[in-house]
Amino acid sequence: MSALVTLTSGLAGPVAAETVTLPQPTSTTAIGALKLPYDLRILGAGGDASTTATLVAGATPELFTATVKSTFTMVGTLVVTINGRRVADLPARTGGLVTARLTPSDVDKGLIIIGMYIILGPQLDCFSDSTSTATLSKGVLYYRYPITPPQSIGTFISPGLSQLTVQVPKAASDAEQQAGLDAVAALAHRFAAPTLVTLVASDAAPRNDFLHRTVLVRESATRTPASRTSPSPAATAAATSTSTATATAKAGATASATATSTVTAMATATAATKAEAQARAKAAASAKAKALGAQADGTPPPTGAGAGQAASGGILQVQSDGSLLLSGPADALASTAVALADPALSLFDGKTLRNVVGTPDWSPAPAKATLASLGATAISMSGVGRMETAVGINQPAFGKSLESLEIELVGTITPLPEGGTGRVDFIWNGLLIDSVNMSSDTALAAQLKIGSDQLNRENALSIAFSYVPPTGKCTPPPLAARLDIDTKRSIVKSKGGESVPPGFARFPQAFGPQVQIALGEAGSFASKVQQAGNLLEALQSLTPEQLTVALITQDDLESSGSPAILTGAGTDVTEDLGAPLTISNLVQVRDPAPRFTAAIPGPLALAQAFENTTRQGARDLMILGPIPADATKPNYAAALAITDEFAAKIAKSPNRWAAMTGQVMTLGTTGQLREIPLPKTTPPLSTLEVVIIITVVSMIALVAGLFLWSRTKPRGPVPSLPGTSSTK
């Protein structure tokens, strides 16, 4: 990295060219650059937004740079803040570059909050610039970090890392594969983007540095012994702590999330002070660890038989090279891997934890959930003109596919003064679905029904509040109107079912808590495992719930009726599973009209997400494989490499799984992900529909046939009708 960069800075003063010196590494420290995963965008005259960046433990911030683009037309100032400290003022109409020197005091509990708001000059028209935006993008946070690898579990399991690699042996056992995948899901659940979590099957020495860490998964023959070492006084203090402090377990999700892992960190003699240990233990206790099964010590894991009393958990141990070894008997590995999602692990300063048992953090929103439980902690708007705020209501948060939603919003609004006008618009995914006029009533209630045709995987409910004061002008400043939505009383009722058409958008909600993964026939084991890890990481990024993995065989996948992912998809499986594109010597689109057939254009990676009909009903599948899938073909090796690249690309994409759209995605030698649009076909009738149609038609035909037949008479003379004489 170049030490000197010339930037056009808008920092504290008029726009001018300025040369900014980037921080320099030293013999004991290095410089890291953390790119903001998301752009920061504000809307309208009262726009205000913020985002957080997580700094890895032990790092200190040095510099923040970004670019702000604006569409505002009025004179004013765009203000950029770091943890509330005003670090840049930019012209509202033009935006500009941001360069801010940072100090350790800009970090609060590992978080740096980057904010932006706008101050516009006095205006008569309340609605000018109400739809204008300013966007802060290309944000980079430079920080200094020590070059020594982590020496404790707490510092190893730290947010803000650039990459976490889970490494299983090249000839990994089933238990190691399963634990590797569960570890990926757990770490991806624990650490949101930009931390990248990958899985590799390799026997090579792990790569470890301060920002890129490796978790080694190894199956051992014996169980963890019971602790043989006496905890230090600090550890005892930690274990007896009964703090009720609260903690948030789900990154970026809700405050109601609860860590359900059974890990309890017990500080060892390496804990700096008793006070620190107690503080950490308080937080650990607040994470509501349930079973106190884990023991801490400083000894290496046992390797021999008869090491001690049998226990159900595995071992976590920081190695001398800085990697974290996750080991244990086959039946304990997965549970220990699941525990990696537990926030309490970050608090443990020791090197070894035994009997680590985890349960997945799976507590999806119930069928009747409050807005607050979905992450909308507060919805409040105050001012004149137009104000807007949005709430995300995403299917994965419910842990299943949804067919419809019913949202009951309850709130309070300022009474409308005489002569003023105002209304609240409810906009669902950009579509106005309801509107309420301001009145003398202070109660606000709205019932929004969202049908399957309006429901996507990710959805945004925007609440736009428009208010014009009685004067009709914003100058001089009138009394502001205010709207508050009570997120604890506002209810979201969901109904399970399908709303999203078959394709990548049906995942991860199609899975529920467990993802079935199978490794197919195409490609090496290492390749397929790595692809599965990348896809799982991408999938996990879309849900606030922790996923777990069931590793199954391809045969089980084909005979099962559950949703699943298949990597290394070969030629036959595309035919057997009814994928949209079937691969043989040609690529064929299944049963469209007209039928489409094309020669294979070259080495490709092909991902398909589709609905597969089984005896147990329809289910969603996602398969990834190379084209050609035949090892005898010349392009096979190239196609395998591209398939690896495909999965890696998805995992690294800012949108992760959401980078895949439609039903078929390919990656070729150009390096560009492409969606292959499928010809629109009339969806085939379901079996039930076919049976109903045939039955109804048959019944009509039968009744008509019986009617006609019942009227016919045989040939020949008509015999006299009996009963011509009466006995009366």
Partner 1 sequence: MQLFIWLMWLGYYLALMAVLFGGGWTFVLYGAGNRYVRELAQRPPGRPDDFLWVFFVPALNEAVTIADSVNRLRAVKAKNLVVIVINDGSDDGTGEVLANIGWKPLIVLTRVLPNARKGKAEALDDAFSFLLNDVLQRKKYRKWQPDQVIVGIVDADGRLDANAPAGISRHFALPRVGGVQVNVQIYNQTSYLTRMQGLEFKVFGGLYQNGRSHWGAAFMGGNGQFNRLSALQSIATEQGPWSNYLTEDQELGLRLLARGWLGEQCPNTFVDQQGLNNLRRLFRQPARWMQGNLQVVRHPDRLHAHHLVGIRRVDALLTLFLPIMTLIVSTAVVVALFLWIFLHIPFLPLSQPLLMVVLILLAVGPVSASVMVLARGKGFRGLLIALRNMPPYVAYTFLMWPVAFRGLFNLMRGKQGWAKTAREAIVPAPAK
Least distance in Å: CB of 608 to partner 1?
24
Query: For residues 680 and 711, which CB has a smaller minimum distance to partner 1 in the complex?
Result: 711
Query: For residues 1 and 718, which CB has a smaller minimum distance to partner 1 in the complex?
Result: 718
- The DSSP call for residue 128 is T
> CA separation (Å) from 204 to 170, 208, 212, 394?
9, 12, 16, 40
Least distance in Å: CB of 502 to partner 1?
17
- Whether 225 and 307 have beta carbons less than 8 Å apart is answered as yes
> CA separation (Å) from 708 to 550, 702, 705, 717?
60, 10, 5, 21
How crowded is residue 365: how many other Cβ atoms within 10 Å of its Cβ?
24
Least distance in Å: CB of 291 to partner 1?
34
Least distance in Å: CB of 710 to partner 1?
5
Helix, strand, coil % (nearest 5) of the chain? 20, 35, 45
Residues that bind partner 1 (CB under 8 A): 615-617, 688, 691, 694-695, 698-699, 702, 706-707, 709-714, 718-719, 721-728
Cα separation of 80 and 136, whole Å? 9
Least distance in Å: CB of 126 to partner 1?
52
Query: For residues 105 and 695, which CB has a smaller minimum distance to partner 1 in the complex?
Result: 695
Query: For residues 304 and 722, which CB has a smaller minimum distance to partner 1 in the complex?
Result: 722
Query: For residues 403 and 521, which CB has a smaller minimum distance to partner 1 in the complex?
Result: 403
Least distance in Å: CB of 396 to partner 1?
21
Least distance in Å: CB of 582 to partner 1?
19
Query: For residues 5 and 706, which CB has a smaller minimum distance to partner 1 in the complex?
Result: 706
Least distance in Å: CB of 402 to partner 1?
16
Query: For residues 137 and 614, which CB has a smaller minimum distance to partner 1 in the complex?
Result: 614
Query: For residues 672 and 726, which CB has a smaller minimum distance to partner 1 in the complex?
Result: 726
Query: For residues 109 and 709, which CB has a smaller minimum distance to partner 1 in the complex?
Result: 709
- The DSSP call for residue 210 is S
Least distance in Å: CB of 723 to partner 1?
3
How crowded is residue 655: how many other Cβ atoms within 10 Å of its Cβ?
13
User: Side chain identity at 221, as an amino acid letter?
Assistant: A
Q: DSSP string spanning 211-277? A: SEEEEEEEE-SSPPPPP-SPPPHHHHHHHT---------STTS-TT------------TTSS-HHHH
Least distance in Å: CB of 704 to partner 1?
12
How crowded is residue 79: how many other Cβ atoms within 10 Å of its Cβ?
17
Q: Which residue spans within 451-531 are E strands per DSSP?
A: 460-468, 481-485, 491-496, 514-519
Least distance in Å: CB of 450 to partner 1?
22
Radius of gyration from C-alpha coordinates of the chain: 31
Cα separation of 402 and 327, whole Å? 39
Length of the chain: 728
Query: For residues 266 and 564, which CB has a smaller minimum distance to partner 1 in the complex?
Result: 564
Least distance in Å: CB of 714 to partner 1?
5
Query: For residues 242 and 725, which CB has a smaller minimum distance to partner 1 in the complex?
Result: 725
Sign, CA dihedral 674-679-680-685, equals negative
Contacts of 577 (CB under 8 A, 6+ apart): 558, 610, 612, 621, 623
Q: Which residue spans within 273-328 are E strands per DSSP?
A: 295-297, 314-318, 324-328
- With tokens 């900014």, the residue in question is 20
- With tokens 């949804």, the residue in question is 402
Cα separation of 621 and 502, whole Å? 9
Least distance in Å: CB of 688 to partner 1?
7
Q: Are strands 163-168 and 212-219 parallel, antiparallel or unpaired?
A: parallel
Q: Count Cβ neighbours within 10 Å for each residue of 206-216 and write b for 16 or more, e otherwise.
A: bebbbbbbbbb
Query: For residues 306 and 719, which CB has a smaller minimum distance to partner 1 in the complex?
Result: 719
Query: For residues 27 and 724, which CB has a smaller minimum distance to partner 1 in the complex?
Result: 724
